[in-house]
């Protein structure tokens, strides 16, 4: 694969997750159905939204009984802590709304709230807080639930921070730079001040993720002039086209990008095509927290929370989440990130998708980064860019960093078992059954479930989870905008018994 694997594993063996009284999706403001795609064929990726969509009537007793509002605490409850009374919170702080381009029209607060409970996410970002219509909607539907944290007025389980992703495209020293970043603020009046300033540089109503013709340093000056403890996170920092280190329009150093404002960078986001140990190879990131979020364009659980960060905080507040990233201590810190296998990301390897050419960093270098079919330059992916900038070897392990867990989403795992798409109806029904019996998805994926019961009741699911844990899988790296694949080769129960006996 061009890089040596470094597997970091948490021991989460002892907790049994409890359920709560069933609630239907209607109780979460979704009406009477959840819209799924019933696609045929193989593979572990959903087709584009809008085709083959079938409603599942959640008023049906056999389905509705599977949907339980989680009462499993704040998430990550199986993790040992010197402060067991503190909150452990799975968070996804990078997602979008229905007002962003190429995003699902189902991305509203009610759907995010519903699917977050299935996923085991306690804290979300609102996303797209610069968009006038979305800002109006979130200001009407959310109420304060503590210091800088908000919730839906009819719900007490899922919480939100006010924030969104912003794009800056600008010229510096004669070169065009493109960078995406997350900005988060604790109060609506501060968001209004920011939006008023940004409206001078962009039509904020044109896209939920606005494009500013503004140098990122000038944006930071505006942001931190409004609120000194704003959260600022460079997004998916290795993506070729729009990121801090991107091969096509990024920088070679975080100091080149942000100059003296580096001290205001709260954390950096790995993105789907890199994981923490790839970022550990960059010494200039040593004193900056590494986080992982989904960049979800859909509320469904194979998108929402596909990457997430587990925080341990004294209590849930903006200040404590900020501190856990900006200046972590024993009471407010990051415990774990949940990651894609980076090979599954769209830009892990180099390549040219139209000619179906995929290169490892070594192969791309041998071919002078040119496509052998059409002769054009290939898109240089994340792995090559890491190799170019890294100052440490591929097996470098930072013992001071939080651990991480690589895994595909549970719907993708089930889709492979059923040889269908993650959005198929039977996959989602099985998913709901697993959540009811074993707890929220992120607890299952991080090993915090009753393994003996799973082994007996769901042997193929258990086998898949164990293979992922051991990395007994096949990885086909993504390249040039094409998702990669995580292939789990499962034995049927009958085949396994024959081999054993």
Question: What secondary structure, in 3-state letters, does 434-486 show?
Answer: HHHHHCCHHHHHCCCCCHHHHHHHCHHHHHHHHHHHHCCCEEECCECCECCEE
pLDDT reported for residue 436: 98
pLDDT surpasses 60 at 26: no
CA 172 to chain centre: 30
Which residues are CB-neighbours of 463 under 8 A, at least 6 positions away?
490, 491, 496
pLDDT surpasses 80 at 50: no
DSSP tag of 49: T
Helix (H) or strand (E) holding 279: helix 276-279
CA 141 to chain centre: 24
pLDDT surpasses 50 at 368: yes
| More confident position, 71 or 240 | 240
Mean local confidence (pLDDT), 68-77 = 35
What is the tens place of the pLDDT at every residue in 53-64?
A: 333 333 322 333
The structure tokens 């998708």 sit at 353
> What Rg do the C-alpha atoms of the chain give, in angstroms?
22
pLDDT tier at 249 (50, 70, 90 boundaries)? confident
pLDDT surpasses 60 at 65: no
pLDDT reported for residue 83: 60
pLDDT surpasses 50 at 69: no
pLDDT tier at 16 (50, 70, 90 boundaries)? very low
pLDDT reported for residue 121: 98
pLDDT reported for residue 30: 30
Q: pTM, whole model, 2 decimals?
A: 0.85
| More confident position, 72 or 494 | 494
Least confident residue range of 47-61, 130-144, 345-359, 470-484: 47-61
Mean local confidence (pLDDT), 14-28 = 31
Alpha-carbon torsion 337, 340, 345, 348, what sign? positive
CA dist 471 and 469 (Å) reads: 6
pLDDT tier at 492 (50, 70, 90 boundaries)? confident
Would you tell me the crossing angle of helices 188-198 and 216-226 to the nearest 10 degrees?
Answer: 150
Helix (H) or strand (E) holding 55: strand 53-57
pLDDT surpasses 60 at 455: yes
pLDDT reported for residue 495: 56
Which residues are CB-neighbours of 459 under 8 A, at least 6 positions away?
493
Mean local confidence (pLDDT), 272-281 = 98
What is the tens place of the pLDDT at every residue in 410-445?
A: 999 999 999 999 999 999 999 999 999 999 999 999
pLDDT surpasses 50 at 47: no
pLDDT surpasses 50 at 317: yes
pLDDT surpasses 50 at 307: yes
pLDDT reported for residue 82: 54
pLDDT reported for residue 86: 85
* CATH class label, 25-77+86-347+392-487: alpha beta
CA 109 to chain centre: 17
CA 217 to chain centre: 26
Mean local confidence (pLDDT), 294-311 = 98
Question: What does DSSP say about strands 231-234 and 159-172: parallel, antiparallel, or unpaired?
Answer: unpaired
What is the tens place of the pLDDT at every residue in 156-192?
A: 999 999 999 999 999 999 999 999 999 999 999 999 9
pLDDT tier at 24 (50, 70, 90 boundaries)? very low
Helix (H) or strand (E) holding 62: helix 61-64
pLDDT tier at 239 (50, 70, 90 boundaries)? very high
Mean local confidence (pLDDT), 338-349 = 98
What is the tens place of the pLDDT at every residue in 402-417?
A: 999 999 999 999 999 9
């Amino acid at each position: 694969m061009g890089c040596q694997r470094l597997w970091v594993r948490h021991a989460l063996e002892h907790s049994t997750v409890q359920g709560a009284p069933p609630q239907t999706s209607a109780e979460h403001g979704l009406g009477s159905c959840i819209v799924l795609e019933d696609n045929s064929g193989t593979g572990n990726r959903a087709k584009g939204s809008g085709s083959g969509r079938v409603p599942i009537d959640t008023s049906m007793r056999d389905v509705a009984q599977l949907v339980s509002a989680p009462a499993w605490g704040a998430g990550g409850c199986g993790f040992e802590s010197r402060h067991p009374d503190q909150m452990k919170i799975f968070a996804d702080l990078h997602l979008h709304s229905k007002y962003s381009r190429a995003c699902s029209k189902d991305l509203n607060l009610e759907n995010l709230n519903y699917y977050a409970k299935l996923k085991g996410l306690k804290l979300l970002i609102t996303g797209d807080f610069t968009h006038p219509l979305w800002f109006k909607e979130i200001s009407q539907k959310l109420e304060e639930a503590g210091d800088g944290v908000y919730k839906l007025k009819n719900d007490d389980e899922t919480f939100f921070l006010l924030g969104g992703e912003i794009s800056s495209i600008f010229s510096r020293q004669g070169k065009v730079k493109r960078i995406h970043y997350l900005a988060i603020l604790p109060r609506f009046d501060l968001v209004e001040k920011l939006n008023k300033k940004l409206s001078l540089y962009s039509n904020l109503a044109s896209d939920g993720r606005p494009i500013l013709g503004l140098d990122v340093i000038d944006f930071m000056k505006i942001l931190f002039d409004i609120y000194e403890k704003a959260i600022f996170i460079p997004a998916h920092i290795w993506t070729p086209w729009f990121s801090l280190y991107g091969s096509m329009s990024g920088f070679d150093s975080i100091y080149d990008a942000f100059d003296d404002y580096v001290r205001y960078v709260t954390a950096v986001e790995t993105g789907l095509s890199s994981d923490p140990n790839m970022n550990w190879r960059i010494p200039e990131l040593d004193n900056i927290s590494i986080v992982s979020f989904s960049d979800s364009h859909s509320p469904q659980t194979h998108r929402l929370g596909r990457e997430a960060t587990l925080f341990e905080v004294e209590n849930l507040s903006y200040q404590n989440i900020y501190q856990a990233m900006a200046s972590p201590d024993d009471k407010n810190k990051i415990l774990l990130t949940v990651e894609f296998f980076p090979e599954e990301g769209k830009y892990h390897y180099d390549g040219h998708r139209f000619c179906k050419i995929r290169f490892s960093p070594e192969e791309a270098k041998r071919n002078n980064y040119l496509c052998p079919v059409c002769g054009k330059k290939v898109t240089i992916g994340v792995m090559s860019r890491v190799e170019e900038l890294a100052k440490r070897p591929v097996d470098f392990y930072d013992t001071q960093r939080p651990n991480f867990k690589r895994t595909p989403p549970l719907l993708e795992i089930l889709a492979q078992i059923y040889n269908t798409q993650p959005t198929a109806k039977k996959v989602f029904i099985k998913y709901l059954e697993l959540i009811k019996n074993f707890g929220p998805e992120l607890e299952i994926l991080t090993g915090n479930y009753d393994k003996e019961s799973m082994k007996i009741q769901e042997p193929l699911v258990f086998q898949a989870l164990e293979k992922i844990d051991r990395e007994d899988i096949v990885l086909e790296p993504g390249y040039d905008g094409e998702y990669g694949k995580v292939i789990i080769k499962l034995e049927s129960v009958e085949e396994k018994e024959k081999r054993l006996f």
